[in-house]
Amino acid sequence: MSRAKRWWERPVRMLRMDYAPDFSVIRNEDLEEVARNRKEDWCINCEWIVGTPGFSNMTHQTTFDADGYEKYPGLENFDYLRSYAPIAHKHGIKVIAYLNMHWFSYEFAADHPDWEQITSSGERYGIARPLYGNGTTFCVNSGWREWAFSLMAEAMKTGIDGIFLDGPVVFHDCCYCPTCQMEFIATYGRVLPRENWHDPLWKGFLCFRENSLARFLADARQTVRKINPEGVIFLNGGGWEPSGWRVARDIQQLGPFQNFNGAEAFFSYGITPNPYACMMTGKYLRAGDKPAVVFVHYMNDTWHYLNLPREEIGLSLAQIASCGANPWLALIRSSLDSQPSSHEPAKSMCGFLEQRKDYFMDCESMAEVGLLFSAYTNRNYLSRYEAVYETTAFSKEENLGVDYKVKRNEAWTQRKKECEKMLQHSYTGYFQALTRAHILFDILLDKDLNKKNLVRYKTIILSDAACLDDEAVEALKHFVSEGGNMVCSFEAGFYDAEGDPLFEFFEVLGIKQVEGLFPAFKGENYQKVISDCLGFKEGVLVERAIYALKVIAAEGAVMPMLFMNHVKGSYVPLEGVSTYPSLIINSYGKGKVLYFPEALGYFYGSKGMPSAEDRIARSVQYLVGTPLLEIDAPRTVSAEVYRQKKNKRDRVIIHLVNNTTGSYPARECLPVINIDLRLNVGRKPRAVTPLRELKSIDYQANGNGLEMHIPVLNLYEVISIDF
């Protein structure tokens, strides 16, 4: 008999409503009315309330009575946690205390000089890089640990259900404090190294940092469970971004010691938005094998006392739900004074999630494709090709002529940032191309590259760079040799887990030799189709990515496309076709590998090049063959499909999100009409039921498939198919 699910293993809907800038006003609230409002107007079942504020010079003070800790001014005779938790519980709301663990005032730090993180230059972190412009941070290996653990224990004694730790993190270029120095010497027998990406000891230091943070979280969990064996704990474990190594965050390391994997997907003005930010974050967190929580700022970016448009909130929540994650919303209480209807999009979506919660439990992805997001690569990848660090650009334009100049980054720090930028665009490029092509895919982590897990998929994608450990190399070789397929690009599989050259994978990719890199240049360089492939006709020119390798293909590999010879200017004659392939189709055992010797994901992710999007999508479609789900809809409609086994009957659940919006943040979602779906399963359903926008759905079993028609999709529809 299976164990009953704990509350945190069931769908959760979280809210954090701050009473900033003065938290003491909470004592004037009718707490019964507060809890009723959260339940009825926001439709949540888990609320974060502030245990220690996360701003100003009061971050070490508590809103609850805690032995040995300073109380927040104005709350001397009021215990927020002990007062509110029983009332929230009465309304079916679990209570999580927010505890600041990363930002402390200079004054508080001065009382504890041995706690601060120290940079490689010997400076205190808060002096070298003032946190948020005014503050510092503490080391997870220092004596601060005991202060932090005692605070957690005091918080759990109030009767709350768990805690969220905002931080800690091990900041970049940290920590070189005496405690870390001693612990590192005890582990490695040598003093802490400085940044040198060719030094194995430096990479050992990066692992030491990650292990230190994971050990802190493990001890924190033990502290919580001593008070309440069912108490939950988690922190901001960081999202998919390749720069996560800089603060020692990796959900593969942290996941075993927390109840949720959570990370931010905040909207920000002034940058090119990722239209699938919440979905991408949710799918990444879900890969960590713990319930995923996507943090969404309800607030209007850094205008914290106003809220985002309702359409933006609704779209974010739809994306989160569709990818199997849980929503978290945060806002300032006073924003409701001028925007009293702000709760409406949350109530609409969270109310639906509550009403239909049974359809969001025990769901298993039916994706046929796996896309690798590699922590090994994020942390250790540094291209060995010098041209990656060169940029060719015009220095001046005179009389319609242009002088071109080559610049090279020599410093380690700049080189690493260049590689991170490439990975950032590569991940988003592949993610968006697959999503827009309606291809069902999961995000995979390094741990997923094993023989047992890979058999679930038809095709695996290694994006523009991938560092692979020995188990991953063997698993991928076995996967392809037994009939699986792969799409790879640029330096995928060129390095081992430590970032050192790996040549063993060349045979899988169909590479005999790599002669180097074409000069990095944006524009006017092409590749030519030699024989029809991937929807491109013979003789057609296709844009070449900025970064492209000169590769000699292995004997027997097919080369349907070749790079043109490099040209270094605009409006200059083309130099003819080179001998270097731009696409290699390699048979390896029973499977196939399509290898693009260029940074294809980066090309689409950074430049939005349509031909790059087409090559990504068409290569996967070619290898997958007939997909589980076929969709006739605009590219802006995204889809996820899950299997749910209940009462010995199978249920397939399709999630459709309409991401068609004319602006960012979204201020309108443009309806999509006449969507046709075909689910390629060989069984006749007992029932096909739309759960949200439609009252019914037209469908018919046809051959080995189930065909469905959706007349209009406004925002989000969930279709349950029972067999």
Residue 635 and residue 610 share a domain: no
Q: Rounded distance, CA 332 to CA 19, Å?
A: 6
**Sole residue written with tokens 């699910």:** 5
Report yes or no on 374 lying in a domain: yes
Report yes or no on 385 lying in a domain: yes
Least confident span in 97-106, 388-397, 713-722: 388-397
Residue 633 and residue 496 share a domain: no
Confidence at residue 685, expressed as pLDDT on a 0 to 100 scale: 93
Confidence at residue 406, expressed as pLDDT on a 0 to 100 scale: 64
Report yes or no on 410 lying in a domain: yes
Domain of residue 693: give its range.
629-722
C-alpha torsion 186→191→194→200, nearest 10:
-60
Confidence at residue 413, expressed as pLDDT on a 0 to 100 scale: 86
Confidence at residue 157, expressed as pLDDT on a 0 to 100 scale: 98
Q: What is the mean pLDDT of residues 54-62?
A: 85
Element (H, E) at 208: helix 200-227
List pLDDT tens digits, range 152-177: 999 999 999 999 999 999 999 999 99
List pLDDT tens digits, range 613-646: 999 999 999 999 999 999 999 999 999 999 998 7
Confidence at residue 392, expressed as pLDDT on a 0 to 100 scale: 62
Residue 603 and residue 699 share a domain: no
List pLDDT tens digits, range 426-444: 999 999 999 999 999 999 9
Report yes or no on 21 lying in a domain: no
Q: What is the mean pLDDT of residues 406-421?
A: 84
Confidence at residue 385, expressed as pLDDT on a 0 to 100 scale: 93
Instruction: Work out the mean pLDDT of the chain and round it to a whole number.
Output: 94
CATH number where 451 lies: 3.40.50.880
Confidence at residue 223, expressed as pLDDT on a 0 to 100 scale: 98
Confidence at residue 2, expressed as pLDDT on a 0 to 100 scale: 66
The encoded tokens of residue 555 equal: 């004997």
pLDDT above 70 coverage of the chain, percent:
97
Three-state secondary structure string covering 466-483: EEECHHHHHHHHHHHHCC
Confidence at residue 402, expressed as pLDDT on a 0 to 100 scale: 53
Confidence at residue 398, expressed as pLDDT on a 0 to 100 scale: 55
Confidence at residue 55, expressed as pLDDT on a 0 to 100 scale: 76
Residue 716 and residue 654 share a domain: yes
CB distance 395 to 569 below 8 Å: no
Residue 413 and residue 460 share a domain: yes
Confidence at residue 397, expressed as pLDDT on a 0 to 100 scale: 52
Collect all residues with Cβ–Cβ distance below 8 Å to 679 and sequence separation of at least 6.
Answer: 628, 629, 641, 652, 654, 705, 706, 708, 721
Q: Is 425 helix (H, G, I), strand (E, B) or coil?
A: helix
Q: Rounded distance, CA 180 to CA 170, Å?
A: 11
Q: Rounded distance, CA 81 to CA 63, Å?
A: 7
From 596, 384, 561, 573, select the one nearest 486 (Cα to Cα).
596
The encoded tokens of residue 682 equal: 């060989």
Report yes or no on 152 lying in a domain: no
Confidence at residue 48, expressed as pLDDT on a 0 to 100 scale: 97
Q: What is the mean pLDDT of residues 594-611?
A: 97
Its pTM stands at: 0.95
Residue 607 and residue 705 share a domain: no
List pLDDT tens digits, range 271-293: 778 999 999 999 999 999 999 99
Listed residues 624, 646, 672: the one ending a domain: 624
Report yes or no on 340 lying in a domain: no
From 595, 603, 593, select the one nearest 484 (Cα to Cα).
593
Confidence bin at 391 (pLDDT 50/70/90): low
Report yes or no on 37 lying in a domain: no
CB distance 675 to 713 below 8 Å: yes
Domain count, the chain: 2
CATH number where 673 lies: 2.60.40.1180
Residue 619 and residue 489 share a domain: yes
Report yes or no on 30 lying in a domain: no
Strand locations in 589-636, DSSP E? 591-596, 629-632
CB distance 508 to 477 below 8 Å: yes
C-alpha torsion 171→175→180→181, nearest 10:
160
Confidence at residue 40, expressed as pLDDT on a 0 to 100 scale: 97
List pLDDT tens digits, range 211-226: 999 999 999 999 999 9
Residue 590 and residue 711 share a domain: no
Q: What is the mean pLDDT of residues 95-109?
A: 96
List pLDDT tens digits, range 1-56: 567 899 999 999 999 999 988 899 999 999 999 999 999 999 999 999 999 998 76
From 439, 469, 290, select the one nearest 376 (Cα to Cα).
469
Residue 653 and residue 619 share a domain: no
Query: What is the C-alpha radius of gyration for the chain, rounded to an integer number of angstroms?
Result: 27
Confidence at residue 518, expressed as pLDDT on a 0 to 100 scale: 94
The encoded tokens of residue 527 equal: 């590749």
pLDDT higher than threshold 80 for residue 693: yes
Residue 642 and residue 589 share a domain: no
Residue 637 and residue 618 share a domain: no
From 514, 520, 515, select the one nearest 494 (Cα to Cα).
514
Confidence at residue 20, expressed as pLDDT on a 0 to 100 scale: 86
Confidence at residue 9, expressed as pLDDT on a 0 to 100 scale: 96
Type of residue numbered 687 = A
**Sole residue written with tokens 């809907």:** 13
Residue 651 and residue 682 share a domain: yes
From 652, 653, 655, 663, select the one nearest 716 (Cα to Cα).
655
